[in-house]
């Protein structure tokens, strides 16, 4: 449930994580990169995608925990009314 430290990962490890979760990792050719004849590794894009994925998963757990808590509260209310 804790945030992974994607910023401290090297490019190889970051690429492995991205491939694992089907995030595009190909080199992007920007206008500047084409002029300089080099390719750009989309590190910021990959990190933002992985962080967004982690936040979405945490949100689902919060919803599940909230629903379970609500059901427990309703069960306790019903039991207290029956007494």
Q: Where are the domains of the chain?
A: 10-82
Residues whose CB is less than 8 angstroms from the CB of residue 49 and which lie 6 or more positions away in sequence, other chains included: 18, 21, 23
More confident residue, 11 or 30: 11
pLDDT tier, 43 (very low <50, low <70, confident <90, very high otherwise) = confident
Q: Would you say residue 79 has pLDDT above 90?
A: yes
Bridge-partner residues for 7, per DSSP? Answer: none
Q: What is the pLDDT of residue 15?
A: 86
Half-sphere exposure of 50 (CA within 13 A, CB side): 24
Q: Residue 77: which pLDDT band, with cuts at 50, 70 and 90?
A: very high
């Amino acid at each position: 449930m804790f945030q992974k430290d994607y910023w401290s990962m090297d490019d190889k490890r970051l690429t492995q994580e991205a491939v694992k979760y089907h995030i595009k990792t190909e080199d992007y050719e920007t206008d500047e990169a084409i002029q300089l004849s080099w390719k750009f590794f989309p590190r910021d894009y990959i990190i933002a995608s992985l962080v967004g994925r982690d936040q979405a998963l945490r949100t689902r757990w919060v919803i599940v925990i909230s629903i379970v808590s609500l059901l427990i509260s309703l069960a306790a209310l019903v039991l207290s009314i029956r007494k």
